[in-house]
Amino acid sequence: MKLHEYQGKELLQNEGVEIPESRVAYFPEEAWMVSMNIGYPVMLKAQVLTGGRGKSGGVKKCRSAEEVRQYSRQMFGSVLTTHQSGKNGLKVRKILVEKAVDYEKEFYLSFVIDRNTATIALIISKQGGMEIENLSATHPESVKKILINPFTGFLPFHARTVAAFLDLWPKTAEIFNLLGKLYRIFVTKECTLLEVNPLVLTNAGSLIPLDIKIDIDDNALIRQKEILRSRDLSELNEDEVEARFYDLNFIKLDGNIGCMVNGAGLAMATMDFIKQAGGAPANFLDVGGVATPETISRGFEILSRDGSLKAIFVNIFGGIVRCDKVADGIIDATTRHHISLPVIIRLSGSNVEEGLKTLKASRKNFHLVTDVEQARDIINTLVNN
């Protein structure tokens, strides 16, 4: 689960981290009133769950009330498209009005989980405000990774390492205090990412996070009740939101072949296979390890709303659930939701012969295949026609 910038800064503030004065506004006149209270200059920051806002016009510096009025009116209701948002972009519904900060230097830091070493990695850079992936490729010497043992936590020698790398020796104590609080948030809130970009050294000599990005582990939300209550469903795809209510794992993608699979591993392999066959997966849809007629029906209902599909590929392994029951569910779902698209079906596992017999007898627009090579040829033909 991704948090908005203002939500992440609330967590920092609760932990005692110094951040610029700010408030969220929900319409242009409110942004103007907030800016008058805070004092100029201020930053207007679109609150959308994506990176790259500054390059797409989602961050503006305003030195007067007139500029706040002008930019806030342009920003509210606009669709912000970045390299991370997808081609449809995200609608701006709220803006963070924040006191502008004068600073001498900017840095990058983040805490992430390093699964290869089963540790927490602290990534720091001498340059902030840039995409760390590009920076590590073009200037690897300016990026450093520090591994933190989760059993011992963030220690003074970690702070000294950071201070030495960033040439901030006089700030070692402040670095230990600040990063210790950020590390505590990362662990206690069960984050998968906590990114500060940029972290700035102000003209007054303080280290202040100007922008924060926090991702919470979805599997931990059952314990993070307060964070779960703050989930912004308006930022999510409507079909993805609906799928959650039926325990379907659905993610919308930009493709032309719909996927319905049971099991995340099989789903990932199926998406790779569709790409190899010349198509593009339109979604990730895992109907669960036990695919029932109800989950299959809900899955087809969601897929049927995508007008860009050329076909639907159903790849089901009958383990606990029997293939003949899966076949009944497919027939019922395609009838109920009036699916006219070609449906490519590959069943394997228990009672597969009975399932295939039922599907053949339905006389629907089904392409029954026994292996992925046959499915590849059909997908290739449908995509190129």
Euclidean distance between CA atoms 21 and 29, whole angstroms: 19
108 is catalytic: yes
Euclidean distance between CA atoms 267 and 367, whole angstroms: 19
Q: Which two tokens stand for residue 143?
A: 């990026």
Q: Which of 6, 98, 103, 195 is catalytic?
A: 195
Cis status, amide bond into 41, omega within 30 of 0: yes
Q: Which of 71, 103, 108, 183 is catalytic?
A: 108
26 is catalytic: no
Residue 30 near residue 243 (C-beta atoms within 8 A): no
CA angle 254, 258, 264 (to 5 degrees): 95
Pairing relation of β-strands 257-261 and 311-318?
parallel
Starting from the edge strand earliest in sequence, which strands make up the sheet with 95-99, in order?
22-25, 95-99, 42-46, 59-62
CA angle 373, 379, 380 (to 5 degrees): 90
Residue 1 near residue 221 (C-beta atoms within 8 A): yes
Q: Which two tokens stand for residue 125?
A: 């850079």
- Nearest residue to 108 via CA among 143, 78, 139: 143
- The residues annotated with a catalytic role in the active site are 108, 195
